[in-house]
Structure formats: C-alpha cells, structure tokens
Structure 1
Amino acid sequence: MAMKKDFKAEVLALAESMVGIPEDAFKVLHSKQECYCFDTGKKDEEGRTIYALVYVKIPDVEGTKTRDGFDVEVAKAAYEEKMSAAANKPAKKSAPKGGDPAVAEKREERMKVLRRWWENEAEYGHDYTSTEVFNALPDIYGIDVNTQGAMLTGRDLAQLAKEGLAEMNMVEKKKCYSKR
C-alpha cells in the first residue's frame, strides 16, 4: 500500500524544512515537476538573472506493478556506478579525423585524471575557472601558468560539461564550470 497522502505531505514539509530552502524561494513547475525556485544573485553575459531550482521529493518505498519501491542502498549503488563509469569513460571523440593518435591518447589520459579530480575534489556550488583547475592539477597541465595550458584545461572542462558532469556558467564574463 502506498503512503497515505496526509502522511506524505507531512514528511515532505519536514524534509523541506531540513533542506534550508531560502525564504525568498517560490514554487514553480519545471519539466512537469513542482520545485522551489530562487534567484542566485548572478547574471549571465546578457544580463539575465540565473535561478536555481530545488526539488524535494518523498519517494514511495513500496513498489507498484510498473516500478520498484525506493531503496536507498540501490539508489546509492546506482549513483556510485554512474560516477565510476563517467570517470573511466573514454572521450566520445578520441581522435579527430586525420589527428595524431598520440595526441588523442594524451588527452584521454588527462581526461581520466580530470574526471577523478572533479568527482572527488571539486566542490558543489563552486564556479571553477579553467585557470583554477589548471593550477589544481599541475601534474597533468604543467606547472607554469600559461595561456595555452589554461585554454587546454578549458577544452577539457567543456568536455566534462558535454558528458553531464559539469555545467558551464558565465560569471563576470568568464566561463566557469560547476559540479553537477
């Protein structure tokens, strides 16, 4: 038997109070789901306000004929498997047409290290510039800060965004990447 509506609403209200949703947040529908929306205080390069969405959902612990009930251990294992697969996944485009396979191999090695660092060291909510990541990973990008190295790091961060591990944001007219 599924959770009773009143009980589920009570648990949802409790969860919402635990999450610490900003007082100025308001409810919206996004992708057909109810969620909280609030102004981040940031603007993109065209002056548009950047909003954040917070979804608070109480999953049913009992399954139905068409879906399993929520099991936290299964959900945690699925998340770990996804992150592990993403960290070890080769770049979709290993070698450009006519490109040097050695260059593609070197890039893939950099991407593996970057993915591991991003998964284990990058902080949620922080906007990383390519220079910050460049400086954080001198073993793969070199020790000296130079334009070419930071540009290389930027291309690798863009690849992380394509893979769904990062999100690109414009902060003060600079490309920044935040952990998803």
Structure 2
Amino acid sequence: MIRVTLAAFSILPEFSCRFPVHFAISLFRVKKNSYICPQRHQFDMAKEGYVNLLPVQHKRSRDPGDSAEMMQARRAFLDAGHYQPLRDAIVGQLRERLDEKAAAVLDIGCGEGYYTHAFADALPEITTFGLDVSKVAIKAAAKRYPQVTFCVASSHRLPFLRYQYGRHNTYLRAV
C-alpha cells in the first residue's frame, strides 16, 4: 500500500522544540547548521543536511523506521519508474488543490523523498518539508534532494507549532 500524507501551510512553518516541558516553543536557526529554543535545547544539522527532532524518549525502538536494506530496495524499485504514474497523479492533485496562499508543503512519512522531491520540483515557489521517523531514509533523502528541508521526527508529534495547523491549512492524502 502507498500512503502519501501532505499538509499545506498558509504561513511558513517553524520547527518547534519537542521537549515535554515546553511543547511548542519555536526553534530559531542560530547558525547555518543549528536550531535552538529559548530554553537552550540545541538541534544541530547533520552534515547531510537534515535535522533530527525525534527525542530519544519518543522512540519506540532503537532504530525506528525502515532499515538501510529496506530503503535501498524500495529506492531501486522506485527508480525503475514503477510508481511514476502515481507520483505524477499526486503532483497533479497537489497543484490542483493547493491554496494560492500556501507557503509550504509537508510530506509526512516521506521515506527517502521519492514523492517529496517531485513536490519541490513542481512547486519551486513553495517551501517543501519532508518528515520521517527513519533516520536512514531521511539521511539518504537529504543527500539526494538538498532543495527540500528534511527532519527526523514522529508523525504523532509533528515538530511544528500548533498554531500553524489552523483552518487555512490544506491536507491531501493519497493511499
């Protein structure tokens, strides 16, 4: 089964600190490679270009998400073009349904970025975010698609401020 879940934001979202004591405080980019919250929790960008926003206490296993082998096998399958028509259809739906006020698109559960980079390429005027619990997948995605902002995070605890999910946001799910 293929599941693509997207959120479109009417304002450019900011990452938020996910520590329980201050659940929704903005993270500010203090350097090219670091985010920090007012409580001084710092999240450094990996050399591959992603940020890990999944606190260890929220992991359900040592290495959540797909393994490197699973991700590589899926990448080979996708690169063979088997899902190209589906990806094109999803991009078409996104273009059709996206509000003209949209500032960003978030691909929730983006894996290695196969669909995510297509969204970024199709809508270059909009910031594209990719989020997945698999560090291996996000690492590969960030290396391959630097035009997308990728983060390791849980879809159950999205690392964005709550006010950014207002009524003006658009959600698109393709299964």
Do they fold alike, i.e. is TM over 0.5?
no
How would you bin the TM-score normalised by the shorter chain?
under 0.3
Q: Which has the higher helix share?
A: 1
Using structure 1 for the length normalisation, give the TM-score. Answer: 0.26
More relative contact order, 1 or 2 (CA 8 Å, 6+ apart): 2
**Which entry has the higher C-alpha Rg, 1 or 2?**
1
More strand by share: 2
